[in-house]
Each structure stands twice: as C-alpha cells, then as structure tokens.
Structure 1
Amino acid sequence: MAAALAAAPAAIRLRDMGSFHVGGHDVRLSGLPTRQVVMAEGGQPVALDPNGTYRVEQMYAQYFLSDPASGRPPLAFWHGGGMTGAAWETTPDGREGWLNFFLRRGWDAYLCDAVERGRSGYALVPEIWPAAPIVQAREDCYTRFRIGQPGTRPGPGSAYPNTQFPVDAFDQLAAQMVPRWVHTDDAILRGYLALLDRVGPMIVVCHSQSGVFGIRAGLARPDQVRAVVALEPASIPLLAPDADYRTPTLILMGDNMDTDPRWPRMRERVQEFAQRYACVTVLSLPDEGITGNSHMLMMDRNSLQLAARVHDWLMALPAG
C-alpha cells in the first residue's frame, strides 16, 4: 500500500473552476408554421411556434485554474472534427488525459467545445444553417485516424501491428463522435478568437481540424496566442504570401502515414509550412524512434510521454 501511494500522481489543486459561453449572434425567424408537439412522456400536445429569435454560433468553454497560480499563460484545448472537449479529458481506456496531466503541472486550462459541437449547441437546419451535418461511421474513424489500415474494419487483428492506440477501447472513441458541419469554419474561428479576447494571452493546444484554427488565431492575434501546439493538423491554412506568422509552433506527427494515401500530402504540407517559417518546429515521432502513434496522439498508450515532450518544449519558450 505504501509503495502504491508513493507512486500515485500528485493531487490536482484548483483555485477556481467554471464555465461560460462566448461569441455568437442572434437570428430572427418569421413566417414558419406552428406545429403540435408532445414535450414529455404522457404530456399534452403543445403548440410550438418556431418564429422568434435564436442565439447561434456561440462557443462553450470550461476553465480549470491551478493552485497556486503559475504566472504562465493558460492552455486552450481545441479538439478535432466530429469531436468535443472530451477528447482531452481521459483516454478511451480510462487513463489520464492531457487536461489532467497539465493541471498537475500547474497549468491553467480552458477546455472548449467548438461552435456547433457539444455544449455549444447548433442552429436549426435548414432554417438557419443550409445543410445537414456530417456524421462519421465507425469504420471511417478507424482507418482515417490510422488505427487500422485502409479497407479494414474494427476488430481483432485489423489494427496496425505496432499501433499505440488502445484498440480494445475503440468503442469508447466511437462513442465520443458527434455531428459536425462543413460550412462553419469562419464561425468556429470567431468563437476561438472571442475566447482569446475574453481571457487574454493563451497557448493553444489543438488537434486535427482545429490545427487550422490554431494557426489562423496565431496569425490574427500574435500578441494573444503565445504558442501553438498542433497534434497532426488536418490541414495547413493557405496563408497569403506576405503573411507574417511568428507564433512559436510545435507540430507533432505520428506513424504509419505511408500506408494511407490521405496522409503523405498532409505531411508534406506541414514540412513546407515549417520550411517557410522559422518559428515552426516539427516533431516527427518515427524520426525520434517513437513508433506506432495514430492520429489520436493524446489517446495513444504513450500519450503522457508525448505530453511530457510538449511540456518541456513549452517550458523552454522565452518568458513574456
């Protein structure tokens, strides 16, 4: 028992926690028909009038402020497409997530559900947003996230032989997936910028789809985005030729990319981005001898080893 207690991680101490919504705007609808709806089991039908004012494109953020305060800029955790802030909380097999890892090391953290995702809510379709959402199938997530090879299905023996992803817990990853839209990029970025405007200088830790938003936020708010840590950005934004991008940026890239035609070009885009801007560092894990990482770096079995590399990189940045 004494040995187990000695090996236990330090307790998480908070001086405050809470949540809020930022951004958004009102949309007023008129001319729509009223309909009868039963709102609860055994209830009476009520007339539902959809005409009126709706708040849309707001973003939800939950904050955790470490005790004692470290004086460092807080971390903003931004998730990937079809996911929510839950991606950073725990791994599919129940291990500690990046949120807790960094809280234990004295970082303040803001965990976000992007516009149109999770607790941020979404708008009426097609009355406000023109198209239905995209929902990703389990099989697509399994191969797109490089857990299993193209053409395979979740199941024994179909994963990459060296995979770091906890394959037996894939169902828990599939349970996290939520609907997403493909026309909301501008609204998502506005939500993230509204967070920066409210909180002040932050370090953005982003994954997949949100890599674009992390880089764009660094360009738009160079005084507020002190650094960007991008886990396998799904794309690199098309910056203008004279774009003055100077935000310290660390990009982590995993393994098994050459077996899937979707990924080599993205790796090239990342390398081109790093060649263009001296402030960008690429950490290719296979080149470091770290093999088997999937697209879900913060969920892989070595996720805390990767978090430690990020922590050391952040601590080495110049103060201010």
Structure 2
Amino acid sequence: MKVSQSFLCAASLAGISVCFSTTASATYCVGINAVRPQCKTQESAYYRDVFFLGGQYIPSGTSFIMSDQLYVEKLTPLNGVDKPYPLVFISAGIPSGSVWLNTPDNRKGWATYFLDQGYQVYIIDITANGRSGQEDLSKYPLRIGSTVSIHEDGFTAPEIVNPFPQSQGHNQWPGNGTKGDPIFDAFFAATVPLTSNKTALELSMRAGGCYLLGLIGESYLIAHSNGASYSALMSDECPDLVRATLNLEPGNIPFQSLIGNSTTPAVGRTTARPWGLTETPLTYDPPVTNVTTDLVTVEVGVDTPALRSCFIQSNTTGGGIHTLPQIAKVPYVMFTASASPHITYDHCFISYLSQAGVTDVTWIKFGDLGLEGNGHFFFLEVNNMELVKVVEAEIEKRS
C-alpha cells in the first residue's frame, strides 16, 4: 500500500540534505522502523525502576570487580497494582530479558499485557547475560548464544527442514522466519552471548533469584525454555517464596539435551543435566551423594520424530527412586505449542516429575484448546495475546 507522507528536510554539516518523514503509517512503523520518532508506541504507560541485585566483589589484578549481580527491571502499572502477587519473567538468555517487552514486529509483549491487568512485573537478565554482571571471563567464559540455523530450524521456521511431523502446522510466526526477512533479522539481532560455565551460572541464579524473591515476597515465576532451569533451582532453594512456576516449553529436558530434533542419537541429542532438571545439585530424598551412581537413568519409549523417548530414574539400580521434596512444594505448570519441537518431548517432564513425587503438575497443550500453529517462541507470535490469556487464567486460579 502506498502511503502519502510529508517530509522535513535539513542540511547536514556535509551540506547534504537529510529528510525525515513527519507522518507515520501502519506499514511505515513495523518492526525496527518503529524506532522513528514519528511512530506511536504500542506499549502501555508504566513506571520503570532498575536495580542490580546481589553480587560480590572479587579480585581483579590489583583491584576488584563486581560479579554475579542480577539486572532487574521493576515495572509498575501507571494506575497502580491490584494483583496480590508479583510476576518474575525469566528468559533463557537468547535474547535477554528484553524479549518480554515487545515482539520483533513491534507488537505489545507479555510484560505489557500483564501490566495492563494490574500486575507488578519484574524482568531479569540471567547471570553473565545481557546487562547482568561484569563478566569475569575466568569464571564466566562466553560462547555464542545461537546461530541462524538453530533459530530457523528450532524456533521460527521448523516447517522448512521438517524434522518432526508437527512442524508442518507452524504458521504463527510474524514473517517467513528466515535470514533476510526483516522480522527474523530483528529477532536474531537480539541474540546475546551466554556463558559456557553452566555450574557457575546455576549457582548464581539459585542465590540471586531467591535473594530477589526475599525482597519482593511470594511471586509467580514465568520462565521460557532453559529459563526453567532457574525456576527449578529457585523452587528447590526457596519454595515458600514461589507461588507457582509457569514454564513455557521448558528447555531443561530431564537428563538430556535435544537440539534440532534429530532422531539420530549422534546428532542433536546428548546427555545433559545429571541432576535431572539441572547441572548442579537438587534436594533429593533419599539424599544423592554421588550423582553418577545414585541417579541412574533408563530410556523409556520408542524414539520417533513425532514422539521422542525419555530418560527417567531406573528403579532397579541406584538405590531406588529419589524424590524432589522441595520442588514438590511448588505447583508446576507447563505450556506447549502444537507445532514446536517441544510437542514431541515435553511429555518427558510429566514422566520425570511424577516419578520424583511432584504431584501438583498441570500440562497445557495449546493445540488442545484450539490454539494451533505456534512454535517455541509462541509469546512473540501473531496470536500471542490469545495465548497469554491462557497463562493468566492459570495464575488467577492460584491467586
């Protein structure tokens, strides 16, 4: 659609005339184009406070640096808070916590939606990611956060490589989901490095997350992908401060890692998270003293592209089944999209948690509610405002 626009021109120092549009249109202000001053924001008005919480001084040469602090944004509705419990948003780190604010095509994000409903909202950047911490590279060596192939095949356009049958239903991403598409480019540009030291990261997130909750009180944790590792750690460390965890396609698949959804064992599937949901210790009963000998796993199910096999505890070795008494104190809610790789393996969480004595578990598959076509980053997709209402309903019934 051709849009009539007026322009304001001025001479630059080099004598070149530079012109700016003084009007805006729906097409003119899509995605990163909305950075232009003429474009009206899609966000709601709110108050914003910024904090760096926790952290410790550590030696650096002849002086010190601060390490392990969490960047926290406190967002408060302009008209005040009228919900009893805050929401804490935790991303996987690719992108950082900014992913909750708006979508790559500049529509309203989930943080704004919940502000509109009267919630107190907190957004964090995980340790050594985004704006959290001054990275001590000896403690937090950095690695790439993702690649174009990982993004396209697993997040924005799985239907092209077709690694699992359900991928053919993916149709909710705002754009074609590939490199060169302006919406994909805006999304991928937000990718930031992660640390390869998962042990230090998890220990820091356990401490820093519970420190935050100790200051703000009992809260709901909304965690996406590998962010669910950190909601699990906080549930284990300070369950009385966690109202419930809302896990959006949790990436901490018990005892394994799956990337690309290949059914070839040597491709995309590796052993991971020896403690089940985490790389670092969780509170088990009976206590786990040697994770290698106490948490022995067994593969269950036939591994197919449409339904992956799972790893759970073996009940014949390792001294019997070990339960998770701390995590069991916290309601666990999981959301899975119909055309994401997670639809093929999120059932593994149900098997693992049930075996470990976690009984307050709710699994919501959006496809069962008639909400079809979504991928792994469904909270950024075209129908994100329909999906968020499902999540809100789970929060409301527990408040």
Same fold (TM over 0.5): yes
Q: What is the SS of the residue equivalent to 2:51?
A: strand
CA distance change for structure 1 residues 228 and 235 in 2, over 3 Å: closer, same or farther?
Answer: same
State how far apart, in whole Å, the 1-side matches of 2:363 and 2:352 are. Answer: 9
Q: Are 2:247 and 1:167 aligned?
A: no
For residues 65-105 of structure 1, the C-alpha deviation after alignment (integer angstroms, 9 at most, x for no partner) is 22333141110011113221111000111110001100000
CA distance change for structure 1 residues 170 and 225 in 2, over 3 Å: closer, same or farther?
Answer: same
State how far apart, in whole Å, the 1-side matches of 2:195 and 2:43 are. Answer: 38
Aligned pairs (5 A) from 1:304-319: 304-317=385-398, 319=399
Aligned to 1:177: 191
For residues 3-25 of structure 1, the C-alpha deviation after alignment (integer angstroms, 9 at most, x for no partner) is xxxxxxx99464x4311111111
State how far apart, in whole Å, the 2-side matches of 1:13 and 1:58 are. Answer: 28
For residues 247-306 of structure 1, the C-alpha deviation after alignment (integer angstroms, 9 at most, x for no partner) is 12221011234xx5x8734x1322224534221101012233322111102101111111
Aligned to 1:143: 153
CA distance change for structure 1 residues 150 and 268 in 2, over 3 Å: closer, same or farther?
Answer: farther
Q: Are 2:148 and 1:133 aligned?
A: no
Q: Are 2:246 and 1:229 aligned?
A: yes
State how far apart, in whole Å, the 1-side matches of 2:68 and 2:208 are. Answer: 7
- Larger-Rg structure: 2
CA distance change for structure 1 residues 149 and 228 in 2, over 3 Å: closer, same or farther?
Answer: same
* 1:185 positional shift: 2.2
Q: What is the SS of the residue equivalent to 2:329?
A: coil
Larger RCO (CA within 8 A; separation ≥ 6): 1
* 1:207 positional shift: 0.4
Given residue 190 of structure 1, which amino acid in structure 2 is its aligned partner?
A
State how far apart, in whole Å, the 1-side matches of 2:210 and 2:235 are. Answer: 10
Aligned pairs (5 A) from 1:231-250: 231-236=248-253, 237=277, 240=284, 241-244=322-325, 245-250=328-333
State how far apart, in whole Å, the 2-side matches of 1:235 and 1:111 are. Answer: 20
Residue 350 (structure 2) aligned to one of 271, 274, 282? 271
Aligned to 1:24: 55
Percent identity, aligned pairs only? 22
Given residue 344 of structure 2, which amino acid in structure 1 is its aligned partner?
P
State how far apart, in whole Å, the 2-side matches of 1:287 and 1:271 are. Answer: 17
CA distance change for structure 1 residues 19 and 11 in 2, over 3 Å: closer, same or farther?
Answer: closer
Given residue 80 of structure 1, which amino acid in structure 2 is its aligned partner?
A
Aligned to 1:59: 70
* 1:167 positional shift: 2.5
Residue 130 (structure 2) aligned to one of 111, 118, 129? 118
* 1:150 positional shift: 6.9
The alignment of Structure 1 onto Structure 2 pairs a total of residues equal to 276
Given residue 94 of structure 2, which amino acid in structure 1 is its aligned partner?
G
Q: What is the SS of the residue equivalent to 2:74?
A: strand
Given residue 51 of structure 2, which amino acid in structure 1 is its aligned partner?
F
Q: What is the SS of the residue equivalent to 2:68?
A: strand
Aligned to 2:369: 288
State how far apart, in whole Å, the 1-side matches of 2:141 and 2:169 are. Answer: 39
Deviates further, 212-221 or 226-235: 212-221
CA distance change for structure 1 residues 221 and 111 in 2, over 3 Å: closer, same or farther?
Answer: same
Given residue 171 of structure 2, which amino acid in structure 1 is its aligned partner?
T
Q: Are 2:93 and 1:76 aligned?
A: no
Contact 1:274 1:282 in 2 (8 A): no
Aligned to 1:298: 379
Normalising to structure 2: TM-score of the pair?
0.64
CA distance change for structure 1 residues 282 and 189 in 2, over 3 Å: closer, same or farther?
Answer: same
Given residue 108 of structure 1, which amino acid in structure 2 is its aligned partner?
Q
Structure 1, unaligned runs of 5 or more: 1-9, 31-50, 153-158
* 1:190 positional shift: 2.2
Aligned to 2:39: none
Q: Are 2:216 and 1:199 aligned?
A: yes
Structure 2, unaligned runs of 5 or more: 1-41, 177-182, 254-276, 285-321
Normalising to structure 1: TM-score of the pair?
0.78
State how far apart, in whole Å, the 1-side matches of 2:169 and 2:368 are. Answer: 18
State how far apart, in whole Å, the 2-side matches of 1:270 and 1:242 are. Answer: 14
CA distance change for structure 1 residues 91 and 71 in 2, over 3 Å: closer, same or farther?
Answer: closer
Q: What is the SS of the residue equivalent to 1:217?
A: helix
State how far apart, in whole Å, the 2-side matches of 1:293 and 1:74 are. Answer: 27
